[in-house]
Every structure is written in C-alpha cells, then in structure tokens.
C-alpha cells in the first residue's frame, strides 16, 4: 500500500526519523530490528468490525512483538447493532442504478443489495434500541475469539 510512503514523509517532516522506524510488509512475514515494541498502532477494521478486517494479523503482531504492558491503539473494539428503516433512502440507492449518467445498470442491483452500506444514518431512521453484540479487548483477544 502507498501509505508507507506518506508515513515516511510525516515522520521525516516532524524530525522523528531517529525515533520511529517504519517497516512495510505483512506482519506475519516481517522481522523487526528489535525484539519487542512499546506500542502497536493499527487500522484493521472492516465493515461490521470483522468483515475484511485484519484483526488476526494484529493479534499475531501483539503476540510476536509487543512488550509486556505495551500499548495497543485501538485497545478495545465493539460491535453494536441497531434497526434502521428508511424506505426513501433505500429506494433512492437502488433506483440510482436504473440511470447511471444515462446507462441502465440495474442488473447490478442484486449485488449492491448484498453489500453493506457505510453511510450516515439520520436519527429519525433508527427504529430500535441499540444492542452490543460483541466486545474485544485487544490486549487479550485470541484468534478463537473471532469466530
């Protein structure tokens, strides 16, 4: 991913080249120039927290490299659910495919309906109470906890 190049620029621009070492690669495959690290910062979350996420890799990184008492950011993760109903929003999202800049792309609608939508939800669309489905402490979570 190209983020490593931006991260290097940020580290350099802030005069931290002598304090921060950036390593590019899959955590399962890399070797670090030190045995243990003080902190792991990760952005691993997918849709609904776990879909397409890299939490297993974060657990590998923690188990391989984090010093006892080290920091993990984020260190907790929760999955919450709430019921939403917005017939107009849904209709607009699905009808959009019938005329995409003059092209009928409605055949894609079933595929689109199967995918999660990441969007802001107006408060008036929420029709149930919130419910916490899962909670993970990233300092202690195991791969088995993810299933």
CA dist., res. 60 & res. 37, Å (int): 13
- Return the H-helix or E-strand segment holding 109: helix 109-114
Q: Is 56 among the residues known to form the active site?
A: no
Tell me the backbone φ, ψ of residue 100, rounded to 5 degrees. Answer: -95, 95
63, 60, 146, 24 alpha-carbon torsion, rounded to 10°: 140
For residues 112-131, b (16+ Cβ closer than 10 Å) or e, as one string? eeeeeeeeeeeeeeeeeeee
- For residue 49, give the nearest of 110, 138, 114, 139 by alpha carbon: 138
Question: Residue 59 has what DSSP assignment?
Answer: H
Q: Is 85 among the residues known to form the active site?
A: no
Looking at 52, 56, 68, 115, which residue is catalytic? Answer: 52
Tell me the backbone φ, ψ of residue 26, rounded to 5 degrees. Answer: -70, 135
Looking at 28, 43, 68, 115, which residue is catalytic? Answer: 43
- Write out the catalytic residue numbers: 43, 52
């Amino acid at each position: 991913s190209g983020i490593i190049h931006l991260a290097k620029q940020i580290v350099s621009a802030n005069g931290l080249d002598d304090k921060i070492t950036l390593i590019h690669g899959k955590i399962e495959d890399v070797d670090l120039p030190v045995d243990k690290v003080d902190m792991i910062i990760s952005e691993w979350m997918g849709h609904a927290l776990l879909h397409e996420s890299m939490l297993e890799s974060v657990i590998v990184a923690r188990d391989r490299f984090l010093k006892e008492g080290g920091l993990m950011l984020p260190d907790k993760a929760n999955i919450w659910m709430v019921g939403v109903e917005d017939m107009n929003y849904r209709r607009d999202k699905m009808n959009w495919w019938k005329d995409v800049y003059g092209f009928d792309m409605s055949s894609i609608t079933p595929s689109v309906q199967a995918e999660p939508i990441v969007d802001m939800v107006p408060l008036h669309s929420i029709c149930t109470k919130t419910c916490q489905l899962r909670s993970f402490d990233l300092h202690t979570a195991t791969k088995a906890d993810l299933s």
